[in-house]
Structure 1
Amino acid sequence: MALSLPGERSVVAGSHVNPVRGLFTWFAQAKAARARRKALRELLSLDAALLKDLGVSRADVLDAMTPRDGRTAGMVLNAARARNARG
């Protein structure tokens, strides 16, 4: 058991963790994720011609719905638009 001097604070007392802030952060992230899923579903509801005008295909949108390797949905769609513009 470690002894502390009267003027020392414990590690927990010096921590800057705020559970309320963590809860609000979690809610904000969940809300943003829901908005992204809704936007991607709206893209899937467009017909192929409109998607082609946007520079993406239905397969690109499906890939963006499950981004991997730390890439966001926007990064996946931007890469698809650049790839489709070249080809």
Structure 2
Amino acid sequence: MALIFTAKHANSRTALKAAQHYQVTAKVGEEYNLIDSVTGKTPEDIKVARRGNNLILCSDKEDVEVVIKDFWGVCSEDNQCYAKLDVPEPKQHRPEK
């Protein structure tokens, strides 16, 4: 599996290499995504975090980190940026009867 970082409106697709860190600066109205090159979907192991005003997307499996700089500084309720991650819902634990 290889990861691809996309910015929809910039029409940008960046193939990410394992054990690398990437940085982009947030742009108002942009839609960011981190996808598996084979499935076109967000891998299940993706973790999302906030570090200051930065949005962090990382994959432990691929040892990749993407920092979207100033995501919460540039973007606001009136001028939004988006990280669209299509991860599956967590599996619900159903008690045995």
TM-score (norm 2): 0.19
Larger Rg: 1
